[in-house]
Amino acid sequence: MVQIKNGASTFELWQAAIRSSLGFISSYLAPDKYDMNDFYLSDRPLHLEENFSKFIRSRIELSRSVILSSELSKINYSELSAFRHEVYYGRRRVEGAIILPRLIRERAAGRLDTIPVLRTVKNSDTPEALFISELIQSSTRVCRWWKKNGGSEGRLAGSTLKFFNALENQAPWDELRTKPRPSLPELVGIVRSRLAAGWSKKGGIIDRLLKIVDAEGDAVSEAAGDIAFFISNDPRYQDRMFELICLGWLVSAARNVFPSFKVHEENFLSARGPIATFCKGERCWSLSYQRHYASETHYHWRGSRQRLRAIPDYVAESILGGNGMTVILDAKNRPQSSRSEIIYKMLGYKENLRLKPFAALALAPTYEKAAFHRVDDDDGNSVGLVYLPLDRGELVLRRILRSVLDTSDRNKNMSRP
């Protein structure tokens, strides 16, 4: 993310921005069902300062539990098994290699039916198996807590909890859950040392589980899923974070400005329709998220002739009296030194979509006061760039919306005879 010298201020500003859009961020992380109407979006803090880190940490723990369930669903127990020799005293049957000195002692003592043997048995309580058993139990506790709290995260935790409960009722985990073992940090140290010594293979299940537990969050594979969002510092996911923050600001601003407003939670992260609709007077608007333009685009790939798709972050559309209006909006997590680059990228939408007139607005973060930049041409096309303060982005967008509406009303009144 964009950095400034004062690290504490950076943290506090991003913290305020995340708080203001927690509804969409939570919905994005809980893909079972999107109940955005359950959330109140505002720029006011939802949690006390001392509780915020716990709030994020609890989601990290849930995300790790979900990722662990994915890894453990394909576990091969043969990778964890070990064999050991033990002395066994059988009755009238030879069940291993006879230990002759002990057999002589048994016979001398008068125990004629006892046969001491040395046999090889599979060991189920290896450090690796106990490590996994402890991960299952800790993940179960996390999922139970989230399930009890309900909501979208509760439903995700409930489905994950079913997996862990079913797994723990299978061998050997049903026996291992009652076995005494060191604490999880101690088990991690033991298992890591054994991995280095060659007891388990590099890239195997134990190696992958250790990386999940020890993850520092520098990057995350897309295959890990949306729930890995909060444990990543990958720039792709930082950009997605700002994109969701802007979506929360846009929806919250529209909710405050337009008297008629509705969120369509079933369309979140889908192309089935707008994510929100809102009206004022005769003019109604719709706001779409991640809308795919394909058939409407001008350029196509040479050879395949397939259209070059355009996927703006948000599209606002309106129809009044048979006249349509489309505004392209994009979230750009870039510093102010990149404003020319951002404007050129927005002009790329104009060239490919050929909307007339073309109107676009890029949204970028700033740690300072709001700043607005705009370019126009002689045909009425316009591209704007607004730098939104992270602690009051929704308020700035609300003022922009009101200004646009007031201008529209004045123009409409002037056009009347």
Segment 307-347, tens digit of pLDDT: 888 889 999 988 776 677 889 999 998 888 888 999 999 99
Q: Which of 4-13, 83-92, 186-195, 249-258 has the lowest mean pLDDT?
A: 4-13
Buried b (16+ CB within 10 A) or exposed e, 195-205: beeebbeeeeb
Q: Are 252 and 41 in contact (CB under 8 A)?
A: yes
Query: What is residue 361's predicted lDDT score, i.e. its pLDDT?
Result: 94
Query: What is residue 106's predicted lDDT score, i.e. its pLDDT?
Result: 82
What is the spatial distance between Cα 348 and Cα 333, in angstroms, rounded to a whole number?
18
Dihedral angle computed from the Cα positions of residues 5, 6, 9 and 15, in that order, rounded to the nearest 10 degrees: 60
375 pLDDT tier (thresholds 50, 70, 90): very high
Element (H, E) at 349: helix 339-353
Query: What is residue 4's predicted lDDT score, i.e. its pLDDT?
Result: 45
Average pLDDT over residues 389-406: 86
User: Residue 103 pLDDT > 70, yes or no?
Assistant: yes
pLDDT per position as a tens digit, 378-391:
888 999 999 999 88
Q: DSSP state, 320? A: E
Average pLDDT over residues 21-46: 53
Query: What is residue 98's predicted lDDT score, i.e. its pLDDT?
Result: 80
User: Residue 115 pLDDT > 80, yes or no?
Assistant: yes
Average pLDDT over residues 76-88: 61
Query: What is residue 291's predicted lDDT score, i.e. its pLDDT?
Result: 80
Q: DSSP state, 75? A: -
Whether cis (ω within 30° of 0) applies to the bond prior to 45 is: no
Tokens of 233: 């510092």
Tokens of 343: 């404007």
124 pLDDT tier (thresholds 50, 70, 90): low
What is the spatial distance between Cα 379 and Cα 357, in angstroms, rounded to a whole number?
7
Query: What is residue 40's predicted lDDT score, i.e. its pLDDT?
Result: 41
Average pLDDT over residues 368-397: 91
DSSP assignment of 114-165 equals EEEEEEEEEE---HHHHHHHHHHHHHHHHHHHHHHH-HHHHHHHHHHHHHHH
Sign (positive or negative) of CA dihedral 50, 52, 58, 60: negative
User: Residue 216 pLDDT > 80, yes or no?
Assistant: no
For the chain, give every domain's residue range: 47-78+127-232, 82-120, 237-415
Percentage of the chain modeled with pLDDT above 70: 76
Average pLDDT over residues 285-292: 86
Residue scoring higher pLDDT (414 or 203)? 203
- pTM for the model stands at 0.54
Average pLDDT over residues 204-216: 78
Average pLDDT over residues 147-157: 84
